[in-house]
Amino acid sequence: MMTEIVAAIADDPLRNAVRAAREGADMIEIRIDLLDYPADSLHQLFKELNKSVRTPIIATNRIDVEGGKFNGSEEERIEILLSVLEMADAIDIELRTRSEYRDLVVHRAKKAGKRVIISYHDFSKTPDITAMQNIISECFDAGADIAKLAATPHSYEDALSLLKLTLDCARAPAQVCIIGMGGYGVHTRVIAPIYGSALAYTSVGAATAPGQIGILELRGMLEMLCPRV
């Protein structure tokens, strides 16, 4: 399968990681900002995750403007993210993170041989196609291995713009993850992987974004619509 199915985990991480692996997730995203775990216990959590599953782990500690729930300072947020870097396989850092912190995370991750996902989320709208192309370019300029853009379509025309962006990037070729959130975006979570989205985010336990689909449901639809995906 060319697209990697990512199970986003927001609660009960050990149990849900095992469940995600059993259901066939290719990667697991641990949303540190949504977990009820003290910072000093996260190192142990990631050690236990690595013992419990062999599925690659994405570490994410999302800022509030990107839909996250981290309550501390920006310095603390980055420090926590870097504290688990060695036990993760990939790291997600937002494009809108202050450049000095973002560059630090990218540098450390690259040095450690980890994949870097640089992400951008718009929970209010879908930017025009030129703006989205610029966002993707900025992600790669900042050091992304995968550029992730999630937007909120308010029409099927908006959704079509997201899918066109996916297809154009895949032809480049460039490793992108394009997501439509909310009601008008649900079908893009199935179609974008067919058009070349490198990652497809699914829910296990509590959903981490509007419109997420379960692992088994998404895999089944992808295998039915496009067996080569």
Task: Please state, in angstroms and rounded to a whole number, the distance separating the CA atoms of residues 227 and 2.
Answer: 10
Which is the catalytic residue, given 47, 111, 125, 148? 148
Amino acid at 121: H
Other beta carbons less than 10 A from residue 188's beta carbon? 26
What lies within 8 Å, CB to CB, of 47 at 6+ separation is: 87
- Alpha carbon distance 4, 124 (integer Å): 27
Question: 121, 125, 154, 164: which one is catalytic?
Answer: 121
Catalytic status, residue 114: no
Active site residue 121: yes
Place of tokens 């497809």: 200
46, containing H or E segment: helix 42-52
Helix (H) or strand (E) holding 47: helix 42-52
The catalytic residue positions are 121, 148
